[in-house]
Amino acid sequence: MTFSLGPIPIKSPFILAPMAGCTDLPFRLLCREHGAGLCYSEMIDCHGLVSQQQDCLELLLTNTEEQPVIMQLYGSDPGAMGKAAAILSEYPIACIDINMGCPMEKIVQTGAGAALMKNPRLAEKIITAICKNSTKPVTVKIRSGWNQHTITAPKIAKIAEGAGAQAIAIHARTWSDGFTGPVDHRIILQTMESVSIPVFANGDITTHEQGQTLLKKIGCAGVMIGRAALGAPWIFSGGVNQHPSMAYRIKALLRHLELAEIHLAPQPNLSKIRNHAWKYFRGTTTGAALRKQIDATTTYSELRGFIHTLAERVLQQ
C-alpha cells in the first residue's frame, strides 16, 4: 500500500513522527534504512528561522539519501509562518508540515501548536500563508481537538484541505489528554471522511503489527510512529527482527553512532545521544543497568568507548 504527497510517491505507509530533540538527520537516516517511508524533522520555530538563529539552522540539516523528508514549522503569526515557509522551500526537502499538536505550555500560550485546534480561523490563515509561500507540498499535523468538548479535527482537516494542504497527520488525542490515555480511532475515521487527501494515523502504535492492523482496519494512508521508534528503528521494517537479539540491538545502535559521527560535526551532543542510546536496550533484562551506565558517561568519547566495548563482548558471544 503506497500513497503520494503531491508529486512525491511514498513507498511505505510507515512514517516517523516529528519529535523535538530526537528526529535529527542521523536518526531519520537510520529509520529510512530500516524501511520508514517518510520521516518528519523536529519542530522548527518560524521566528528563529526567519531571523536565521543558529539553533534553528542546525535543525535544517538534510541530505539526498534521507529523501523524502518533511520539515515541520511552528508558530502562530501567519506572516512569519509564510516567510519561514518561503525560506524552507529553498531547502532540498520534500514537504513542509505545520505543527498544530504541540501541547507544551510555552507553545500554546503563544497561540501556536495545539492551541490552533481551538482557533480554526487562525489555523486557516496560517495554512493559507504557508501554502502561498511554499513551492513544496504542505501537510498539517493535528490533534483530535482541544479537549473532549472541543473535537475539531474533522473541521480543521477540511479547512486545511481547502487551504491547500496535501496530507493530514492526526495524533488522536486532545490537548488536555497530553500523551496518555486512550487514542480514539473513531476521530481518525471522522477526519478521513471529512477530506480526500491522505490521512496518517498517530498515537500509541507500539509494534509493526499494530501498524499493519490499523492500516487494514481503518484504511488510513499511513501510520505514524513516535515513541516506539526511539531505540527501535526496526519497527518500520516488520519481519523477523521485531523481537531483536542483543546483537541486533547493538548493531543498530553502532550504526546510529556512526551516522551521528558522520553528520554532527564536530561530534554528537552527549545528552541527546545518551537519550537515544539507552532506549536500544528497553525491555531487555540488562536494560536498567545499561541505562545507568550510559547515563553516567560524561563525554561523547566515553559513551562511544562504553558502547564499543559492550559491542565487542556481545558480538563475540
Q: Are 218 and 242 in contact (CB under 8 A)?
A: no
Q: Are 211 and 200 in contact (CB under 8 A)?
A: no
Q: Are 169 and 198 in contact (CB under 8 A)?
A: no
Q: Would residue 102 show up in a list of annotated catalytic residues for this protein?
A: yes
DSSP code for 265:
S
CB of 211 to ligand FMN, least distance (A): 10
CB of 62 or CB of 250, closer to ligand FMN: 62
CA distance 8 to 198: 13
* SS3 at position 279: helix
Which candidate in 46, 56, 102, 220 is catalytic?
102
| Contact positions vs ligand FMN (CB under 6 A) | 17-22, 42-43, 72, 99, 101-102, 141, 171, 179, 202-205, 225-228
Nearest to 231 by CA among 240, 244, 213: 244
CA distance 46 to 245: 42
CB of 171 to ligand FMN, least distance (A): 4
CB of 229 to ligand FMN, least distance (A): 7
CA 28, 31, 35, 37: dihedral to nearest 10 degrees?
A: -30
CB of 273 to ligand FMN, least distance (A): 15
Count of residues in the chain: 317
Nearest to 99 by CA among 55, 156, 61: 156
CB of 4 to ligand FMN, least distance (A): 22
Enumerate the β-bridge partners of residue 202: 171, 224
CA distance 95 to 112: 20
Q: Which residue is nearest to ligand FMN (CB)?
A: 226
CB of 28 or CB of 304, closer to ligand FMN: 28
CB of 160 or CB of 225, closer to ligand FMN: 225
Max Cα separation, the chain?
61
CB of 20 or CB of 60, closer to ligand FMN: 20
CB of 128 or CB of 202, closer to ligand FMN: 202
CB of 278 to ligand FMN, least distance (A): 14
CB of 20 or CB of 61, closer to ligand FMN: 20
CA distance 168 to 192: 9
Q: Which residues are known to be catalytic?
A: 102
